[in-house]
């Protein structure tokens, strides 16, 4: 049976589709959105994560056990040389405070489904189910297809949370098993999309048009990022595209927050979006009203 790399399974989730859900986060993403709040989901491989706030001041157990000298500690601050680390896991075994962890491991479909089925009572009572997110779940198509297949056999409502950056054939493989797509639409201008996400939006738009023509259940999610897609021109371009769709009218506005900023330090990654502030309530409300005036059903968050 298929297997894949997962970095988290979140129980009792209420923001990843209808009802109470179990959200399974698959590792790996083809884009590098500068505001991404799950940087641990970007790489396809397991990674070592450091939690400086958890590190005990006088402890050096992880440094001493590392045969490859990948870890060091100076002035109570632990650091990692990624080029030397082979993810042997010895450091995580000796760390008394879980200041060193491995993000991501290989799971079988059976293992994942056992975790999902523990929450069936909450799914049934709330109209929830399982959501496959990431990273980008379409990056692991065989694994995702197998997980969706097992979920449908068990009568579990399925959601796929995607950026849409995948070959159309991948969607063809899974669409009959997906009850709802949560589909990111970030920026209409391709040059700007490349600048802030690292990839073209051509596939993203083509796949959304494809899902619309196939009358799939889709909620378009628009991350509202100050200085990226929050001015009138950006909003009007997004609206112009949405008007061309015949069957997709539900939207979620996702205002920017920097709650994932600290994660970048744990994985020694740069936080490229800088120090921008979340959009104001006034701006969020203004954009919500503009979208609704064009016939869209709009929610904030979720």
Residue 76: predicted pLDDT: 80
* 193, 186 contact by CB (below 8 A): yes
Of the pLDDT bands very low, low, confident and very high (cuts 50, 70, 90), residue 241 is: very high
Number of domains in the chain: 2
Q: Both 25 and 82 in a single domain?
A: no
- DSSP E strand boundaries for the chain: 3-13, 21-26, 47-50, 71-74, 77-80, 100-103, 105-108, 129-134, 157-162, 180-184, 218-224, 250-255, 297-300
CB neighbour list of residue 264: distance below 8 Å, 6 or more residues apart: 39, 270, 271
pLDDT digits (tens, 9 = 90+) for 118-142: 999 999 999 999 999 999 999 999 9
Q: Nearest 5 degrees, angle CA 119-CA 128-CA 173?
A: 100
The SS3 assignment for 163 reads coil
Please state, for a pLDDT cut of 70, what percent of the chain lies above it. 100
Of the pLDDT bands very low, low, confident and very high (cuts 50, 70, 90), residue 1 is: confident
For the cut 90, the answer to whether the pLDDT of residue 75 exceeds it is no
Q: Both 35 and 144 in a single domain?
A: yes
Residue 268: predicted pLDDT: 86
The residue range of the domain holding 95 is 52-103
> How many C-beta atoms lie closer than 10 Å to residue 214's C-beta?
13
What's the whole-number mean pLDDT along residues 93-109? 95
Last residue of a domain, one of 65, 82, 103: 103
At 201, which CATH number?
3.20.20.70
Q: Both 113 and 80 in a single domain?
A: no
Q: Both 165 and 68 in a single domain?
A: no
Burial class for 153, CB neighbours closer than 10 Å (0-12, 13-18, 19+)? exposed
Tokens describing residue 35 = 């505001």
Q: Both 96 and 114 in a single domain?
A: no
Residue 41: predicted pLDDT: 96
Last residue of a domain, one of 65, 81, 103: 103
Q: Both 131 and 237 in a single domain?
A: yes
Q: Both 226 and 292 in a single domain?
A: yes
Q: Both 152 and 27 in a single domain?
A: yes
Q: Both 27 and 84 in a single domain?
A: no
What are phi and psi for residue 90, nearest 5 degrees? -60, -40
Of the pLDDT bands very low, low, confident and very high (cuts 50, 70, 90), residue 206 is: very high
Q: Nearest 5 degrees, angle CA 54-CA 59-CA 63?
A: 100
Distance CA 8, CA 216 (A): 27
Distance CA 228, CA 233 (A): 11
What's the whole-number mean pLDDT along residues 148-172? 97
Q: Nearest 5 degrees, angle CA 141-CA 260-CA 147?
A: 20
Of the pLDDT bands very low, low, confident and very high (cuts 50, 70, 90), residue 287 is: very high
* 204, 234 contact by CB (below 8 A): no
Beta-bridge partners for 73? 78
Output the pTM of the full model: 0.94
Q: Both 159 and 82 in a single domain?
A: no
């Amino acid at each position: 049976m298929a297997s894949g790399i997962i970095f988290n399974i979140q129980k009792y989730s209420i923001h990843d589709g209808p009802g109470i859900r179990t959200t399974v986060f698959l590792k790996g993403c083809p884009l590098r959105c500068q505001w991404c709040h799950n940087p641990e989901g970007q790489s396809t491989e397991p990674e070592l994560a450091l939690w400086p706030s958890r590190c005990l001041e006088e402890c050096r157990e992880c440094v001493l056990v590392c045969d490859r000298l990948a870890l060091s500690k100076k002035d109570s601050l632990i650091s990692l040389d990624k080029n030397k680390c082979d993810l042997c896991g010895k450091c995580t075994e000796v760390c008394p405070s879980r200041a060193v962890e491995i993000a991501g491991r290989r799971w079988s479909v059976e293992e994942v489904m056992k975790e999902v089925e523990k929450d069936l009572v909450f799914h049934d009572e709330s109209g929830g189910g399982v959501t496959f997110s990431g990273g980008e779940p379409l990056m692991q198509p065989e694994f995702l297809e197998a997980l969706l297949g097992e979920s449908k056999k068990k009568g579990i409502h399925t959601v796929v949370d995607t950026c849409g950056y995948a070959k159309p054939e991948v969607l063809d493989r899974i669409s009959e098993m997906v009850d709802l797509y949560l589909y990111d639409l970030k920026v209409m201008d391709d040059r700007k999309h490349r600048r802030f996400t690292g990839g073209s939006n051509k596939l993203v738009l083509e796949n959304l048009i494809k899902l619309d023509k196939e009358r799939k259940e889709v909620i378009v999610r628009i991350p509202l990022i100050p200085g990226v897609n929050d001015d009138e021109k950006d909003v009007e371009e997004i609206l112009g595209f949405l008007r061309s769709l015949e069957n997709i009218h539900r939207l979620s506005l996702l205002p920017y927050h920097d709650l994932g900023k600290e994660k970048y330090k744990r994985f020694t990654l740069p936080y490229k979006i800088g120090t921008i502030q979340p959009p104001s309530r006034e701006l969020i409300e203004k954009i919500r009203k503009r979208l609704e005036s064009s016939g869209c059903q709009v929610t904030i968050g979720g």
